Amino acid sequence: MAENEAKQNNNQVLAKKYSKIKQTLSVIETVIMFAVLLVIILSGLNKTFEKISYGISENNYIAVLLFLGLVGMIEGVISFPLDFYSGYILEHKYNLSNQTLFRYFLEKGKSFLIGLLFGIPVLLVFYFILRNYPVSWWFIFSIFMFLFSVVIARIAPVIIFPLFYKFRQIDNESLKIKILEMCDKNNVQVKGIFTFDMSKNTKKANAAFTGLGKSKRIIIGDTLIENFTEDEIISVFAHELGHYKKRHIIKMIAFSTILTFAGLYITSFLYTKSLPLFHLDFVYSVSALPVLFLFLSIFGLVTSPLTNIQSRKYEWEADNFAVDIGKENSSFASALEKLAEQNLADKNPNKIIEFLFYSHPSLQKRIDNALKKRQA
């Protein structure tokens, strides 16, 4: 007992160090992003890049892509050392990663290509709207982003995720029967319950509810299947089922859409008013785009805590759903304990840090809540 307690205490000491480093690196990366945009704007590099882009092609849309490519290249080169340290070196240092160096760059390369595949059309649509509707662009683009987010939510589980992981139906018959029984009792029809090879990249465990309509499914990492008891897996599944039952994906899309409309409206106002300060002519000027992205980034940073508040609310609802329908008093609490240990998660983060950065309530709060509800 004492030995186990000492192990947990040691794990939490490591977790706090790990979390602090990750949060510090995240803040530094954000500061760097803002600094790069400011330097590009204030130094006149934006106008230089615009000349270079139009020197290569007089087509407005090709010039925009070339311009954004130059800006992205600078940000990428500057942020790469921190990104590599955070995503590869630190994960290996704390024994959380299974990735080889080759696989790390392979996964990064795939992410980059998928980003281009979806990002380039979005950027072209955005610039088309900005150029042709310089006053109402924010409203039209908000509608487009809403439709785009719905499409992505629909296709991600069946097209995008399989590019990174191999998915297969859960083959544990006992577990499958229990899961299907839980679905039937709660009048939930899920198109698929899959496990995926999360272990190829990490030792961490996770599960999620994804998709809309015919693509909705619950996915469970193989690291969770291999290291948790059936009752614990069922309790984690019940949590994910709670997200579906409470329609959290749809609610998050709606909430994000409201923020998008508000954010683009405020950004549009500030962007238009600030152009003379930076000696820029039109909202659709290619050289003015870094100013627009700066305001968008600021809005995203300011509203991030609001998104986290909403997310934490939904996590509480899913937790309570899992505990209410669970049979074993301590299974969900023990599953959260294991997740904390396996993911090296700080169970008791600073309250300010939790408010600003955490999309989930702290694990200790969730554990205490689970035990308290089951004892009630």
Answer whether residue 348 is part of any domain.
yes
Q: pLDDT of the chain along its 376 residues, tens only?
A: 555 666 666 778 898 999 999 999 999 999 999 999 999 999 999 999 999 999 999 999 999 999 999 999 999 999 999 999 999 999 999 999 999 999 999 999 999 999 999 999 999 999 999 999 999 999 999 999 999 988 998 888 888 999 999 999 888 888 888 888 888 888 877 767 889 999 999 999 888 878 777 777 888 899 999 989 988 998 988 898 888 888 888 898 889 899 999 999 999 999 999 999 999 989 999 999 999 999 999 998 999 999 999 999 999 999 999 888 865 557 888 899 998 899 999 999 989 899 888 999 999 999 988 888 765 5
Specify the amino acid at residue 293. F
Residue at 203 is within a domain: no
In a domain? residue 82: yes
Number of domains in the chain: 1
d(CA 79, CA 33) in angstroms, rounded, equals 8
User: How much is the pLDDT for 107?
Assistant: 94
Please enumerate in sequence order all residues whose Cβ is within 8 A of that of 327, keeping only pairs 6 or more positions apart, or say none.
Answer: 231
User: What pLDDT shows up at residue 126?
Assistant: 96
In a domain, 223, yes or no: no
Residue 25 forms part of a structural domain: yes
Do the domain assignments include residue 80?
yes
Give the global pTM. 0.86
Residue 250 pLDDT:
86
Q: Is 191 inside a domain boundary?
A: no
Residue 273, domain extent: 2-166+242-375
Secondary structure in 3-state letters for the chain: CHHHHHHHHHHHHHHHHHHHHHHHHHHHHHHHHHHHHHHHHHHCHHHHHHHHHHHHCCCHHHHHHHHHHHHHHHHHHHHHHHHHHHHHHHHHHCCCECCCHHHHHHHHHHHHHHHHHHHHHHHHHHHHHHHHCCCCHHHHHHHHHHHHHHHHHHHHHHHHHHHCCCEEECCCHHHHHHHHHHHHHCCCCCCCEEEECHHHCECCCCEEEECCHHHCEEEEEHHHHHHCCHHHHHHHHHHHHHHHHCCHHHHHHHHHHHHHHHHHHHHHHHHHHHHHHHCCCCCCCHHHHHHHHHHHHHHHHHHHHHHHHHHHHHHHHHHHHHHHHCCCCCHHHHHHHHHHHHCCCCCCCCHHHHHHHCCCCCHHHHHHHHHHHHHC
With respect to residue 16, please indicate whether it lies within any of the assigned structural domains.
Answer: yes
pLDDT at 74: 93
d(Cα 324, Cα 318) in Å, to the nearest integer?
10
